[in-house]
Structure 1
């Protein structure tokens, strides 16, 4: 019997392979941290079964996109508190069926109090059950709490010394965003050139999917910024991360403006009139945005993106581009002005300078 994977609407081998590849830095980090935690607890402290040292390390690091040192620390501290609390309750109540229920309930309640993340509560509860169900360690009370402290400390140390390439992850998120913007712009240009409502709808649908991509990029940049402050290997990347954070901030505003413009175009076209002048303006903005995306990999492309945006900004005067045009077309040109200002600010221009680069009205 031959085994075949489902193709349509089923298991996506390519997506799965990409997921594994993108997780490789986290996998290496977790394996290394777990090995170090085990070695310290087993060989350094002499605990024969340092299960909690390893499990706390793994649960503190995890595969979460948010790998900031603060999150790792909060997770480790919360889980260790859960372990210590369980050991204390074990001393007071002993072991038994109803004792397990009490400890589990208290661990869940404390974890929910400490963190809004449901996965954190489950991790803390799991660790508490290890305390209750495993045989008592030879080292006596709170031996497992010490293991938990070792695991949490190793997780935090590895976060700083062996980071997960947060800048590379942020760049990957940025590439995914620009990969969605390019076809959205292309659909919008076709909609204006051919009075095609379906193309406008397609552009709007694509742009509505960009917010999660922007949020992912923001999360990875936040992680990169946090790790770079404590990692000796990433400290020199602080200016690069700050530049990308600026681009993200204003690109987020630009995409929001672009959604509004696209919605306006979607409700304006469909009357049998083609709008090649507005299409040319949108195509120029699309080209400049693409160059801005390239500047994330090659900073020398920033001046080119800025020049392209200034060139299109100087044309954003309805009286020049569309003399005598109906109000609907005039409004479309005016709505492109805030979009271009946001993109110019993403290249590094202050607001007043960006605004002064546009055609006076």
Structure 2
């Protein structure tokens, strides 16, 4: 028993206790990340909540007070349906609402006239409305709207004549009021919308590249593995970024007050593809870094410097794109990463280390493309940076003009 206790301690440190401390530290880090992500999501959707509230109130008031509709329930519902549609698809959402109403009314009226109303008639009408809508190529929103309209027409028509016309009017009012709120009264700032969506993805990418750089510097394979595990979570944020880009583009089309943001947003839009490539290539980079550390390969300090410079490039890219300026600082950091990686290759790396060097170059090229540089020019700059003979601790210098 005594020997067992002695074997569980090394240099006076209880291994069980150290594992518990490490587990608690990881749990605390995950909890902080979860709270941070939830707060980010709440901030991101505050404008959405304000738009929905304003659109619902205006739709009700317009239908009830101006058009004398005594029970305009569907007007605010249609408005909220439009606002709640995926950001970047609200114009399409409004059109889908109106198409769904038209299909539901057509099917409901025709079949009520032929087979009457009742429980089994309701089932047939709803089924046929769904089948017809799918046959016509309608998406889920159109299908749901057609089915809901068919139900209301079947149930309410005998007791409330002309409910069809009121429902069409409500759909038109709700959809167009929502578009008016989006375009004129409370339009998103498209650049801020996109920047907030990009923040969790790019910040996490930069953080995990930094963690990998530190792991390489300290030869800490478990730390690099944790960075790899966290890096895999970025994909879900990239989906949010694409949706935000669509929303930003829609806003610059619909809202005259946001037309001046088109240039800055187009730069973000064109760079999104290469940001996604950078995320994927960074995953390969970190994975091979883990292997290099686990296999005990030589890890020159310049390799850690290269990965750290990539992290700086990501941060600079996000900052400059977010404020709508030319990302010159991101370009310089990316080229510094390539220079340091070239020095690491000369200093001597193993097989996995050489893959890390290659991935630094590839990721740096992706980041250069994300800053607006064309492929041929990006490749030229990378080759230039590889040829730089820079000593340890010495800055990479100024790249040739790329703008």
TM-score by length of 2: 0.76
Q: Are 2:72 and 1:47 equivalent residues in the alignment?
A: no
Q: Are 2:159 and 1:159 equivalent residues in the alignment?
A: no
Consecutive unaligned residues in structure 2, runs of 5 or more: 1-27, 388-403
Shift of 1:160: 2.3
* CA distance 1:339–1:35, change in 2 (3 Å): same
Partner of 1:3: none
SS of match in other structure, 1:142: helix
Partner of 1:207: 231
Shift of 1:165: 4.1
Task: Answer whether contact 1:83 1:145 (CA < 8 A) is retained.
Answer: no
TM-score by length of 1: 0.84
Consecutive unaligned residues in structure 1, runs of 5 or more: 1-6
Partner of 1:255: 279
Partner of 2:302: 277
Shift of 1:108: 3.0
> What is the rounded CA distance, in whole Å, between the counterparts of 1:45 and 1:245 in structure 2?
42
The equivalent position to 1:66 in structure 2, one of 78, 84, 87, is 87
Q: Are 2:330 and 1:309 equivalent residues in the alignment?
A: no
> What is the rounded CA distance, in whole Å, between the counterparts of 1:37 and 1:24 in structure 2?
20
Shift of 1:237: 1.0
Question: Alpha-carbon deviations, 1:104-159, whole Å to 9, x = none?
Answer: 22233344454443x65444433432333336435465332233233233333333
SS of match in other structure, 1:49: coil
Question: Alpha-carbon deviations, 1:63-105, whole Å to 9, x = none?
Answer: x443434432343233322442334434444321112212222
Shift of 1:328: 3.9
> What is the rounded CA distance, in whole Å, between the counterparts of 1:253 and 1:235 in structure 2?
29
Shift of 1:258: 0.9
Task: Answer whether contact 1:285 1:312 (CA < 8 A) is retained.
Answer: yes
The structure with the larger Rg is: 2
Q: Are 2:111 and 1:89 equivalent residues in the alignment?
A: yes
Task: Answer whether contact 2:203 2:315 (CA < 8 A) is retained.
Answer: no
Task: Answer whether contact 1:84 1:142 (CA < 8 A) is retained.
Answer: no
Partner of 2:241: 217
Q: Are 2:99 and 1:78 equivalent residues in the alignment?
A: yes
Shift of 1:300: 4.6
Shift of 1:273: 4.4
> What is the rounded CA distance, in whole Å, between the counterparts of 1:184 and 1:60 in structure 2?
38
> What is the rounded CA distance, in whole Å, between the counterparts of 1:14 and 1:192 in structure 2?
27
Task: Answer whether contact 2:298 2:349 (CA < 8 A) is retained.
Answer: no
Partner of 1:180: 204
Stretch of structure 1 that moved more, 155-164 or 26-35: 155-164
Task: Answer whether contact 2:338 2:386 (CA < 8 A) is retained.
Answer: no
* CA distance 1:323–1:23, change in 2 (3 Å): closer
SS of match in other structure, 1:73: helix
The size of the alignment, in residue pairs, is 350
Stretch of structure 1 that moved more, 99-108 or 255-264: 99-108
